[in-house]
Amino acid sequence: MTNEIKHHLTDALLMGYASGNLPEAFDLVVATHISLCDECRARLGSFEAVGGALIDEAADAVDVNDDALESTLRLIEGAPKDPIRIRDTAPEAETVFPEPLRDYVGGDLDAVRWRSIAGGVKQAVLPTSRDATVRLLAIPGGAAMPDHGHHGTELTLVLKGAFRDDDGLFARGDVEVANEDLHHTPIAEPGEVCICLAATDAPLRFKGILPRIAQRFIGI
Amino acid sequence: MNVVVEAEEQDWAALVRRVDRDKDKAAFAALFRHFAPRVKAFLMKSGAGEALAEECTQEVMATLWQKAHMFDPSRASVSTWIYTIARNRKIDALRRQRRPEPEDLPWGPEAEPDQAEVMTLQQESEKLAKAMKKLPEKQRKLIEKAYFGDLSHSEIAAETGLPLGTIKSRIRLALERLRHAMG
Ligand SMILES: [Zn+2]
Ligand SMILES: [Zn+2]
């Protein structure tokens, strides 16, 4: 399953996720990719080990209150038992969305509330903190996204179907990390609809005047 | 010297196990003495005031007790595991945003981690810590800045120079084993 993934997260993104400093929208793309990719899960583990090594340094330790241990034990006594989390789907039921994404959508693909934007493309913006935005995109087979560049970082994770641009073919689990240097026109492969999770921390740069006008209405 | 450090490191995992199996308060107190001051320092460096850091530290340590059954010593050292709990508390309390977590791999029939693997992972973690101490000052400062939230992801250089290879393959092996056990 996971060894088919060809396009992975960058070290900078994994370090940002491990240190807890990414915008929530990016956290969602990272967590969703890792749910599908053991390679990046292991890389994340090594970046978390860096955090473990930083925390383990005695030189910087700060004294806790004298009664801290007693207070913590009282906290433990008073807390409800750790609720055993019941998984929302049985493992045999194959879902399109991994668990972190299902948490944001409130279900699997059939629970998405799509809005049409243009050319048969549909989107659903997911609620996150405002420092970046994340949306689901449904691009009909063979359709192209408008030609665009990037001001900041754009992460595009494929969940179903596939798209192609100058950087190659992106299928389920693959993630494209685009920045200022990349200008592209992603085109969905002919056939099935391409469903992507896309996050941006700055508006995209469109070439044509028409997409730029449309941008004001759809908020990409 | 090395022997002492390694024996000590090995003990943390055993102490977490005693907290999980026996609800052992003495084991918890030993973990608390070592880790609570470090967690508090981490939270303060991440921007928490003293009072908030104290409160969050106690919550982090209480989480250690409550989630002791989730700790998998073949995938992370105790320091690393506590770090992830503290980091999540930081995101919640300081940044006030939700934290999407990857789908976890469910425990397979072989719930008991292999002792040799646990040992090797702990050793790799110590090697990483030692290697980090030897990094040039400038690079070390950069890593600290990244982890304490003073660098954005776009400012983090792709080439970190951290020796992560062996620990990554160690974690990868543990994941493969887990997947395998699940069938
Ligand atoms: Zn990956
Ligand atoms: Zn793009």
Break chain B into its structural domains and give their ranges: 2-182
Residue type, B106: P
Least Cα distance to A177 among A157, A147, A205 occurs for A157
Domain B2-182 fold is Rna Polymerase Sigma Factor; Chain: A (1.10.1740)
Give per-residue pLDDT as tens, A64-116: 999 999 999 999 998 876 555 555 444 557 899 999 999 999 999 999 999 99
The burial class, CB within 10 Å (0-12 / 13-18 / 19+), for B107 is: middle
What pLDDT is stored for residue B155 in this prediction? 79
What pLDDT is stored for residue B51 in this prediction? 97
The residue-averaged pLDDT of A37-44 equals 96
Distance CA B150, CA B147 (A): 8
Distance CA A125, CA A105 (A): 10
What pLDDT is stored for residue B6 in this prediction? 44
A51 and B164: CB-CB below 8 Å?
Answer: no
Least Cα distance to A49 among B64, B40, B172 occurs for B172
B102 and A100: CB-CB below 8 Å?
Answer: yes
Window A:113-172, CB contacts with B under 8 Å: 128-129, 152-153
- Taking contacts as CB-CB distances below 8 angstroms, the residues of chain A near B162 are 50
Pick among B12, B58, B63, B122 to test the A interface (most A CBs inside 10 A): B58
A39 and B151: CB-CB below 8 Å?
Answer: no
What pLDDT is stored for residue B4 in this prediction? 43
CA B71 to chain centre: 10
Distance CA A31, CA A23 (A): 12
Q: What is the ipTM of this complex?
A: 0.91
Q: Which of A35, A43, A56 sits opposite B168 (nearest CB)?
A: A43
Q: What phi and psi, each to the nearest 5 degrees, are found at residue A102?
A: -60, -35
Q: DSSP string covering chain B, please?
A: -HHHHHHHHHHHHHHHHHHHHH--HHHHHHHHHHHHHHHHHHHHHTT--HHHHHHHHHHHHHHHHHTGGG--TTT--HHHHHHHHHHHHHIIIII------PPPPPP-S--S--HHHHHHHHHHHHHHHHHHHTS-HHHHHHHHHHHTT-S-TTTS-S------HHHHHHHHHHHHHHHHHH-
Q: What rounded mean pLDDT belongs to chain A?
A: 89
> Is A60 within 8 Å of chain B by CB?
yes
What pLDDT is stored for residue A212 in this prediction? 63
Tokens of A32: 């969703």
Residue pair B42/A55 in contact by the 8 Å Cβ criterion:
yes
183 residues of chain B, pLDDT tens digit each: 344 444 454 489 999 999 999 999 999 999 999 999 999 999 999 999 999 999 999 999 999 999 999 999 999 999 999 999 999 999 999 888 899 999 987 655 556 777 888 889 999 999 999 988 888 888 888 888 889 888 877 777 655 678 888 899 989 988 888 887 766
Residue pair B103/A97 in contact by the 8 Å Cβ criterion:
no
3-class secondary structure, A1: coil
What pLDDT is stored for residue B177 in this prediction? 83
Tokens of A203: 């508006």
- Taking contacts as CB-CB distances below 8 angstroms, the residues of chain A near B90 are 20
Q: Give A109's DSSP letter.
A: G
Q: Which residue of A has its CA nearest to B64?
A: A76
- Taking contacts as CB-CB distances below 8 angstroms, the residues of chain A near B146 are 15-16, 19, 21
- Taking contacts as CB-CB distances below 8 angstroms, the residues of chain B near A129 are 95-98
What pLDDT is stored for residue B104 in this prediction? 86
How many alpha carbons lie under 13 Å from residue B138 in its C-beta half-sphere? Answer: 0
Q: Which of A45, A101, A129 sits opposite B75 (nearest CB)?
A: A45
The residue-averaged pLDDT of A118-125 equals 91
What pLDDT is stored for residue A85 in this prediction? 55
> What residues have CB less than 8 Å from A114, skipping those under 6 apart?
A122, A123, A124, A136, A138
Nearest chain A CA: its distance from B113 CA (Å): 17
What pLDDT is stored for residue A80 in this prediction? 75
Domain A1-220 fold is Jelly Rolls (2.60.120)
